[in-house]
Amino acid sequence: MDLEQRLRILVVGGGLAGLAAAAYLRGRHEVTVLERFTLVDFARNDYAMSITANTHRFLRELGAEDWQLQAVPLKYVWGCDAKGNVNETVAQSITPSGATTIFARRSRIHKELLTAATSPRRAGTPAKIVENVKITSVDVEDGVIRTEDGRAFRGDLIIGADGVNSIVRAAILGTVAPSASPSGVAAYLCTVPRSALDSDPSLSFQTNADAGLATFRGSDADGRPKSRVLFYPADPNTFQIVAYHDESPWVERFEKSGSSIVPRVSQLSMLQTFDDFTDSVKRVLAQATSPDVWRIRDIDRMESWAKGKAVIVGDAAHAILPYFGLGCNLAIEDGEALGYFLSNVTSASELPQALARFAALRVARAHMVQLAGRQAAGLVSEEEKESLPPFDGKAFMAKVYAYFSAEQASKEMCG
């Protein structure tokens, strides 16, 4: 493609969504990613996540191999009660495409997406990364963004991949832009060595070759999953702990600090929260690193993700509740979809139509996932409940897994 037929694309935010978009767009266009922090510091918020089979296939297309991700394949999902009884086992790892759902640390996925976006060995022009720039204003009509230190950048397209508190979203939607709403639940995030589970006969089912995720369910408050301890592999030698509980004790600290994370709280508070759980679970919690407390939030659905020269992707467009662990999957799917819908675009005048096609496909999918998260969290209104069929988790996951590519999904949508 001629140089002048390429778009100049500015991506605000170098998280998972921003780097995935850059990795898929660099083949045809000239991409610059602007990130307020440095990307070398991958250890920030380095929790482990599940990557469903369809997104795992995207990562492999982008050149990320399982060994680079230190991936652990997901073979089982176990449901347990607070006393440690295993009540259900669901095997769900293999999909028709042959890919596997995996667990991996966020830092590993982030690093591989950065490589995919910037490596000179892949087709197209390596994306340019500008670190330590905080974007403070966005002009969606002129395609200009300004930084805290007084610089301005101009592009044919601005992609807002700036997370749950997105300023690009605010610029697109103005006063009707939704902001993150608390779900009433917080989560302790920490890790333990695999040996902590391995050495306990009542937990060692998780450390066999058949790896997976175990949820220990405590009692529900107001029909909402406020007491849940999750163990799942972060890498071959480490397990991630995510422990959901009522957010009440932390609300004041979240609000005072203006942050949704309270870092490094005492282990004792975590142990007290899950005092009525089986000793095996408590022994593991006692061996964990000191936990961070995360406020669990999502944002209301938005019908419009694009305006003028700007579009939003990832958590900026559809921050969801984490009960199905699908936020990163949606972010990577968004990147692949932008790559597809912008693949034939050779001038800025063709952008509005391409963005409209992108949004038509992705808004519908993100809303399906967001609603499922709220149903799992017991957060749908009585009114909504009446208009909805009962939630079917298996049918939902089948739909998640069936998404093959933006091209195929848009063909199916158009019939």
Residues that bind ligand FAD (CB under 6 A): 12-18, 34-37, 47, 49-50, 134-135, 161-163, 167, 187, 189, 242, 294, 314-316, 322, 325-329, 331
Q: Which does 344 bind (CB under 5 to 8 A by kind): ligand NAG, ligand FAD, none?
A: ligand NAG
Residue 343 binds ligand NAG, judged by CB under 6 A: yes
C-alpha R_g of the chain: 21
The least CB distance from residue 342 to ligand NAG, in Å, is 8
Tell me the three state secondary structure of residue 313: coil
Q: Which does 341 bind (CB under 5 to 8 A by kind): ligand NAG, ligand FAD, none?
A: ligand NAG
Residues β-bridged to residue 219? none
Between 87 and 387, whose beta carbon lies closer to ligand NAG?
Answer: 87
Q: Which does 87 bind (CB under 5 to 8 A by kind): ligand FAD, ligand NAG, none?
A: ligand NAG
Tell me the three state secondary structure of residue 292: strand
**Which run of H or of E encompasses 402?**
none
Annotate 84-112 with DSSP letters as a single string.
--EEEEEE--B-TTS-B-EEEEHHHHHHH
Six token digits for residue 294 = 């995360």
Residue 244 binds ligand NAG, judged by CB under 6 A: no
Q: Which does 340 bind (CB under 5 to 8 A by kind): ligand FAD, ligand NAG, none?
A: ligand NAG
Q: Residues 199 to 218: which contact ligand NAG by CB under 6 A?
A: 217
Phi–psi pair at 314, nearest 5 degrees: 65, -155
Expressed in angstroms, the distance from the first to the final Cα of the chain is 31
Q: Which of 46, 81, 198, 292 binds ligand NAG (CB under 6 A)?
A: 81
Tell me the three state secondary structure of residue 212: strand
CB burial readout 362-395, b (16+ within 10 A) else e: bbebbeebbbbbbbbbbbbeeeeeeeeeeeeeee
Residue 344 binds ligand NAG, judged by CB under 6 A: yes
Between 286 and 360, whose beta carbon lies closer to ligand NAG?
Answer: 360
**Which run of H or of E encompasses 58?**
helix 53-61
The least CB distance from residue 162 to ligand FAD, in Å, is 4
Binding mask 252-271 for ligand NAG (x = CB under 6 A): --------------------
Between 200 and 404, whose beta carbon lies closer to ligand FAD?
Answer: 404
Residues β-bridged to residue 282? none
Q: Which does 253 bind (CB under 5 to 8 A by kind): ligand NAG, ligand FAD, none?
A: none
Q: Where on the chain is the footprint of ligand NAG (CB under 6 A)? A: 81, 85, 87, 217, 340-341, 343-344
